[in-house]
């Protein structure tokens, strides 16, 4: 009874498990629905720069300008602001009347922010003074407030730059490019290592894939084995003259296939619906998912061996999975966590797995760039298996 027979029986067991799964209609549906829900939820709840819908935000423009010498330039200004807005972020603009009304509307929650053009606007513009535009926002909602005032400030700043640039060019009789270099001698442009910008989905998709695949092994493996033990079929498998290793292998293989399927569903959803692009090698992506699973098989098997029944297995899983979900930098970057959290995070294998996958998918890294993470995952997997297999053997002959 050599390695060939062990593999053969493993495949047999995996095939049987998958066949059972394929006949479980509800299970199959959940298999597809779970990643979809996950993706949709995290994708829509967490606001990201481009995904937040600005047209929901209402901005009132209050023009208090009284004019100067029968002239008024504030109307032109307001319509220019409006134009830039509708060409870019498309906030919902409306005209206001007085400052008090604006404040009142914000307090009522009817308006998210306001632009106030001061009384002396035309005077200042015509008399070569700086005109002070005030942005008032709903600070009871810091995220929105920050976002809106930022956007509005940007609009107004870019307008004032344009005006200044053309004024300067006219004054000094130079080209507007020259005028721009006088105004801002240093220009900043930032870019990633690959072309295009990345959204929150680009950040979250790799972590989510890795987490789903690992979870399905961690929950699926103990689930499958304790379930079979409870209904009694495991005895039937164990009285057959097979190596017990092939039970672990076979079950893992089945769960792996299931997890990989879920991972790929996430990948397809992420690319098709949420505009995620894979910059790295797709084979490396799949390879990494497999490695992630490998590093977690041991933990799954160990849990199976320690848990007496399905219920306690799932309780133990929850205790391990929950912190891991939040501390492994899947939803929130590890580097932005407080120091001690970062330390905890550095002990979790999921941190390395999802980080490596993210580097490959977003930055197009190859194996050399993620070697450290790979090494950690391999070592973790081997150590856990070395602990788990004896535990499993002991459990089997209890």
Partner 1 sequence: MIEVKNLTKVFGKFTAVDNISFTVKKGEIFGLLGPNGAGKSTTLRMLSTLARPTGGVATIGGCDIVKNDTKVRNLLGVVSEKMIIYERLTAKENLWFFGCLFGIPKEKLHKRIDELLDLVNLTQFKDKQVGTFSTGMRQRMNVIRALLNEPQVLFLDEPTLGLDPQSSVEIREFIKKLNQEKGTTIIITTHMMLDADLLCDRIAIVDHGKIIALDSSVNLKKATVGANTSIINLGITNLNLDMIEKIKTLPCVGAVTQEGETKLRITVHGEDAFDQIIDQVRTLNGKISSIENLQPTLEDVFLHMTGRNVRDSVESKVLVHTRRMAKMPVQRGR
d(CA 354, CA 373): 9
DSSP per-residue codes, 293-341? HHHHHHHHHHHHHH-SSHHHHHHHHHHHHHHHHHHTTSSS-GGGS-HHH
Q: Is 161 in the site for partner 1 (CB under 8 A)?
A: no
Q: Does residue 293 contact residue 217 with C-beta atoms inside 8 Å?
A: yes
Q: In this structure, what are the phi and psi dihedrals at residue 92, rounded to the nearest 5 degrees?
A: -85, 105
Between 127 and 233, CB nearer to partner 1: 233
Binding region for partner 1 (CB under 8 A) out of 162-170, 204-212, 226-234, 268-276: 226-234
- Minimum separation from the CB atom of position 26 to partner 1 (A): 12
Binding region for partner 1 (CB under 8 A) out of 237-245, 261-269, 303-311, 371-379: 237-245
Site pattern 242..261 for partner 1 (x: CB under 8 A): x-------------------
Please identify which residue in 45, 188, 239, 283 interacts with partner 1, judged by CB under 8 A.
239
Q: Is 233 in the site for partner 1 (CB under 8 A)?
A: yes
Q: Is 232 in the site for partner 1 (CB under 8 A)?
A: yes
Q: Is 184 in the site for partner 1 (CB under 8 A)?
A: no
Q: 235 burial class (0-12, 13-18, 19+ CB within 10 angstroms)? A: exposed
Q: Is 338 in the site for partner 1 (CB under 8 A)?
A: no
Q: 97 burial class (0-12, 13-18, 19+ CB within 10 angstroms)? A: exposed
Between 16 and 124, CB nearer to partner 1: 16
Q: Which positions ≥6 away from 61 have C-beta within 8 Å?
A: 78, 81, 82, 93, 94, 95, 96, 114, 115, 117
Site pattern 11..30 for partner 1 (x: CB under 8 A): -x---x--xx--xx------
Between 1 and 379, CB nearer to partner 1: 1
Q: Which positions ≥6 away from 162 have C-beta within 8 Å?
A: none
d(CA 184, CA 180): 6
Please identify which residue in 2, 241, 338, 339 interacts with partner 1, judged by CB under 8 A.
241
Total residues in contact with partner 1, by rule CB under 8 A? 22
- Minimum separation from the CB atom of position 215 to partner 1 (A): 23
DSSP state for residue 368 in the 8-state scheme = G
- Minimum separation from the CB atom of position 349 to partner 1 (A): 33
Q: Does residue 57 contact residue 144 with C-beta atoms inside 8 Å?
A: yes
- Minimum separation from the CB atom of position 398 to partner 1 (A): 7
Which residue in 118, 149, 155 sits closest to 136, CA to CA?
149
- Minimum separation from the CB atom of position 17 to partner 1 (A): 9
Footprint of partner 1 (CB under 8 A)? 1, 5, 9, 12, 16, 19-20, 23-24, 231-233, 235-242, 397-398
């Amino acid at each position: 009874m050599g390695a060939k027979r062990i593999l053969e029986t493993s495949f047999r067991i995996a095939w049987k498990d998958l066949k059972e799964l394929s006949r479980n209609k509800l299970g199959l549906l959940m298999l597809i629905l779970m990643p979809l829900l996950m993706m949709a939820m995290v994708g829509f709840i967490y606001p990201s720069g481009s995904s937040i819908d600005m047209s929901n935000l209402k901005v009132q423009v209050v023009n208090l300008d009284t004019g100067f010498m029968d002239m008024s330039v504030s109307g032109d200004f307001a319509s220019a602001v409006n134009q830039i807005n509708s060409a870019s972020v498309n906030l919902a603009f409306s005209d206001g009347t007085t400052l008090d009304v604006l404040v009142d509307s914000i307090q009522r929650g009817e308006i998210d922010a306001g632009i106030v053009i001061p009384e002396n606007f035309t005077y200042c513009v015509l008399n070569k003074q700086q005109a002070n535009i005030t942005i008032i926002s709903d600070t009871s909602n810091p995220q929105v407030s920050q976002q809106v005032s930022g956007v509005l400030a940007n609009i107004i700043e870019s307008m004032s730059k344009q005006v200044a640039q053309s004024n300067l060019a006219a004054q000094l009789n130079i080209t507007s490019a020259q005028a721009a270099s006088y105004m801002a001698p240093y220009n900043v442009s930032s870019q990633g290592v690959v072309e295009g910008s990345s959204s929150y989905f680009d950040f979250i998709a790799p972590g989510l894939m890795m987490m789903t695949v690992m979870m399905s092994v961690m929950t699926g493996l103990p689930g499958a084995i304790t379930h079979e033990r409870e209904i009694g079929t495991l005895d039937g498998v164990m009285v057959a003259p097979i190596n017990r290793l092939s039970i672990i292998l076979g079950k893992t293989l089945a769960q792996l296939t299931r997890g990989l399927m879920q991972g790929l569903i996430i990948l397809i959803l992420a690319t098709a619906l949420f505009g995620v692009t894979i910059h790295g090698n797709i084979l490396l992506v799949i390879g990494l998912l497999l490695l992630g699973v490998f590093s977690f098989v041991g933990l799954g098997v160990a849990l199976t061996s320690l848990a007496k029944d399905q219920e306690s297995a799932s309780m133990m899983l929850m205790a391990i999975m929950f912190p891991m979900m939040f501390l492994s930098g899947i939803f929130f970057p590890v580097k932005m966590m407080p120091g001690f959290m970062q330390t905890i995070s550095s002990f979790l294998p999921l941190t390395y797995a999802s980080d490596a996958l993210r580097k490959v998918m977003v930055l197009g890294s190859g194996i050399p760039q993620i070697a450290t993470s790979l090494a950690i995952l391999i070592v973790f997997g081997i150590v856990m298996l070395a602990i788990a297999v004896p535990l499993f053997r002991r459990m089997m002959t209890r």
